[in-house]
């Protein structure tokens, strides 16, 4: 199955080149590496994890008017064209459908062990120094303000509300990033999130102190 993984790597690299919203191929690379590390410790199926990590952002729901079915469809089309086993295709596509964060108050789907591993890896890449950089890159690409003390963070009850919300990049830390530590799925992922979370907390504290000229 190594061939399918290499072919998929190539396919994803081509499709995601030039993205400036935090979903470039380097995000995929980092998530794949993290997912593989977690998968080995948690005893998850490496082929499923590798393929799902590679394909997890192939057509993000946020960029298709909230339609979460595009990603799994593109992934299925690709994997079937390569003659991949049906069971493998189903496992991978189920993960792609459910892995993305859709708002703090939105009900969470039940994931397979492999899905929990890929989701942890994806979340780790939204944390820490890289996570901070991605948040500001995303905010810049969307023309959002870094911060506005008059705009308060919101707890989104539906994926639609989360998608439509304007908001600032600093609020994204309260609306998503600082909530992720408590939502990690695997013991390995949870442990890896600690340090990244603490770094981000310190960063936000410092950002606000500098904002007020206190530091």
Residue pair 71/61 in contact by the 8 Å Cβ criterion: yes
Does position 42 interact with Ni ion (CB under 5 A)? The reply is: no
102 binds, among Ni ion, ligand ADP, none (CB under 5 to 8 A by kind): none
**Hey, what are 116's tokens?**
């929990």
122 binds Ni ion (CB under 5 A): yes
49 and 117 Cβ atoms separated by less than 8 Å: yes
Report the partner that residue 115 touches, choosing among ligand ADP, Ni ion, none (CB closer than 5 to 8 A by kind). Answer: none
Residues lying near ligand ADP in the complex (CB under 6 A): 22, 57, 60, 62, 100-101, 122, 126, 131, 134-135, 138-139, 167, 169, 172, 176-177
126 binds, among Ni ion, ligand ADP, none (CB under 5 to 8 A by kind): ligand ADP
* Partner touching 169 among Ni ion, ligand ADP, none, CB below 5 to 8 Å by kind: ligand ADP
Shortest reach from residue 207's CB to ligand ADP, in Å: 14
Q: Of 126 and 159, which CB lies nearer to ligand ADP in the complex structure?
A: 126
By beta-carbon proximity to ligand ADP, the closer residue of 84 and 144 is 144
- The stretch near Ni ion (CB under 5 A) out of 51-59, 159-167, 179-187, 196-204 is 51-59
Cα 89 off chain centre by: 21
The secondary structure of residue 108, as a DSSP letter, is P
- CA angle, corner 213, sides to 212 and 215, nearest 5? 115
Closer CB to ligand ADP, residue 39 or residue 126?
A: 126
Which partner in Ni ion, ligand ADP, none is near 117 (CB below 5 to 8 A by kind)? none
Question: Based on CB atoms, which residue is closest to ligand ADP, 115 or 139?
Answer: 139
Pick 91 or 102: Cβ nearer ligand ADP? 102
Q: In terms of Cα–Cα distance, which of 174, 11, 168 is closest to 81?
A: 11
Q: For residue 35, what are the CA distances in angstroms to 66, 106, 117, 214?
A: 25, 24, 6, 40
In terms of DSSP H, where are the helices of 43-183?
46-55, 70-81, 86-98, 113-124, 128-141, 159-164, 169-175
Burial of 15 (0-12, 13-18, 19+ CB in 10 A): middle
Site residues (CB under 5 A) for Ni ion?
57, 122
């Amino acid at each position: 199955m190594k061939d399918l993984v290499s072919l998929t790597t190539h396919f994803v690299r081509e499709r995601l080149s030039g993205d400036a919203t935090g979903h470039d191929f380097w995000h995929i690379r980092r998530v794949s590496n993290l997912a593989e590390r977690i998968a080995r410790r948690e005893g998850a199926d490496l082929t499923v994890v590798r393929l799902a990590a590679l394909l997890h952002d192939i057509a993000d729901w946020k960029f298709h008017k909230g339609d979460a079915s595009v990603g799994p469809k593109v992934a299925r089309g690709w994997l079937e064209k390569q003659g991949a086993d049906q069971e493998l295709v189903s496992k991978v596509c189920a993960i792609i459908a459910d892995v993305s964060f859709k708002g703090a108050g939105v009900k969470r789907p039940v994931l397979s062990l492999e899905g929990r591993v890929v989701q942890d890896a994806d979340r780790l890449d939204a944390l820490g120094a890289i996570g901070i950089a991605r948040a500001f890159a995303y905010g810049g690409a969307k023309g959002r303000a870094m911060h506005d003390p008059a705009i308060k963070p919101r707890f989104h009850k539906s994926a639609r509300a989360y998608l439509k919300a304007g908001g600032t990049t600093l609020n994204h830390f309260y609306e998503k990033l600082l909530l992720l530590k408590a939502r990690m799925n695997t013991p390995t992922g949870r442990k890896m999130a600690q340090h990244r979370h603490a770094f981000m907390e310190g960063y936000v504290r410092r950002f606000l102190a500098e904002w007020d000229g206190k530091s």
